[in-house]
Amino acid sequence: MKWRIKALSFFYLASIGIILPFLPLLFQSRGLTYGQIGILMAIGPLVSMLVQSPWGYLSDRLRTVRKVIMFQISMAFLMSFLLFNLKSFYLLLPASFIFFAFAWPPLPLIDCLTLAIVREQGGSFGSYRLWGSLGFAVTALVAGSVLAVVGIDNINYIYQGVLLIALLFATLTQDAPQAAQPVGFGQLKKLITRKEVLLFLLLIALINTTNKVNDAFLSIFIRGIGGSEADVGLAWTIGPLCEVPVLAFSFLLLVRFSELTLLALAAAIYSVRWFLFSITTDPALVSLIQVMHGLSFGLFYVSAVSYISKIVPQHLRASGQGLFSTFSGGVAGIAGSLLGGYIMEGFGVRFLYTTCSILALVSVGAFLALSRSQARKTAQTADGP
């Protein structure tokens, strides 16, 4: 059963490895401005923020994760025909909204399936999640090389083919065992309003805003300094490939260090990475700097998923991962895409990455402060009566 969830993770993230790097280039080829591209790329996070938690709640309520994933992937496949065949910005607005409502939400539910398997059969979350990174990396590289030859307008054939394979493995994957305790809306509301949970989610949104800026504009940045589609594919391949060793051995780090300490380290690496982008003028150097993605995003993701799974009750696991995705993908993505687009248009890409470097540095201090606060609280509990 393990290989099925690994294959699902591989091919679903492979589909994202087509959308994230190359959809902005498709929009650019159709004459859209940076601001318009920023708006369209912000729709994905906006929709994610609106629907991610309801999807998680629905999964907990219906007590099935696999069937919800199958429905989401099926609808994303159908809606992609609409997205890839429209050229007007004003028609792309509603089409993007519908498409992203189904295309983005499967990831936290796939994480739920993975965490359930880890609890039942052992292993580490990172050893499963690395297959998703491989899927993203391999597809970004292959798609970049293919699209450089056949043209960006043929992106739909690659995406839809990969998504169908992901759907196949979703049907073969075993569902997550559901807790006996029924889930009600009041429990979800109580979870959201817990100070510990809300503060953590806001910090996650802060640091991941910088990453979402890069997601939205890295491809355009590379083209702007003379790179080709193949250079774009290479840069997007190197980053996820470098996640693999981090995810594979993440359990060793989580045993030795707290999740909040590792998140502070990830934010520090992000800060250095964005600063280097702000002074880079060579596409080859961009690919080299992308090596840092493994530590920055890899540490961020595995530490955040681990931490949220600890502070959320087991019967609300899908809801908890949905909240994490809402803030890390939705809130952060809206801020990153919208603000990034207008900052880039008004002040240029150098200023954009410099701003990201400063925000990441602020996140370092915030995570360290939260870590110290948690340590004091734990010490007071231990010393209590």
- Residue 383: the pLDDT is 54
H runs (alpha helix) in 249-282: 250-256, 259-278
C-beta of residue 234 within 8 angstroms of C-beta of residue 144? yes
Q: Is residue 188 over pLDDT 80? A: no
- Structure token digits, residue 80: 């992609």
311 by Cβ neighbours in 10 Å (0-12 / 13-18 / 19+) ranks as middle
Q: Which amino acid is at 168?
A: L
Q: Is residue 264 over pLDDT 90? A: yes
Residue 65, phi then psi, degrees to nearest 5: -100, -45
Number of domains in the chain: 1
- Residue 381: the pLDDT is 57
Q: Please give the DSSP secondary-structure letter assigned to residue 177.
A: P
Could you give the CA distance from residue 119 to residue 115 in angstroms, rounded to a whole number? 6
- Check residues 380 and 369 and name the one with the higher pLDDT: 369
Q: For the chain, what is the mean pLDDT?
A: 84
Torsion angle, alpha carbons of 225, 231, 232, 236, to 10: -120
- Residue 180: the pLDDT is 46
193 by Cβ neighbours in 10 Å (0-12 / 13-18 / 19+) ranks as exposed
145 by Cβ neighbours in 10 Å (0-12 / 13-18 / 19+) ranks as middle
Q: Is residue 181 over pLDDT 60? A: no
Q: Is residue 235 over pLDDT 50? A: yes
Could you give the CA distance from residue 257 to residue 263 in angstroms, rounded to a whole number? 10
- Residue 178: the pLDDT is 59
For the domain that residue 128 is a member of, what is the CATH number? 1.20.1250.20
H runs (alpha helix) in the chain: 2-29, 34-62, 66-84, 89-103, 106-121, 125-150, 155-172, 185-192, 195-224, 229-248, 250-256, 259-278, 283-289, 293-311, 317-325, 332-334, 340-347, 349-383
Q: 134-150, pLDDT tens digit by residue?
A: 888 888 778 878 887 88
C-beta of residue 65 within 8 angstroms of C-beta of residue 112? yes
Q: 350-369, pLDDT tens digit by residue?
A: 899 999 999 999 999 999 98
Q: 294-328, pLDDT tens digit by residue?
A: 889 889 988 998 888 777 776 666 677 777 877 88
Domain coverage including residue 345: 2-383
- Check residues 241 and 358 and name the one with the higher pLDDT: 358
Model pTM score: 0.71
Q: 45-71, pLDDT tens digit by residue?
A: 778 778 877 887 788 777 788 889 999
Highest-scoring range by mean pLDDT, 5-9, 39-43, 220-224, 329-333: 5-9
Residue 307, phi then psi, degrees to nearest 5: -65, -45
Mean per-residue pLDDT, 225-249: 83
Highest-scoring range by mean pLDDT, 36-40, 296-300, 376-380: 296-300
> Could you tell me the CA-to-CA distances from 204 to 106, 173, 243, 272, 385 in Å, in that order?
19, 30, 19, 18, 34
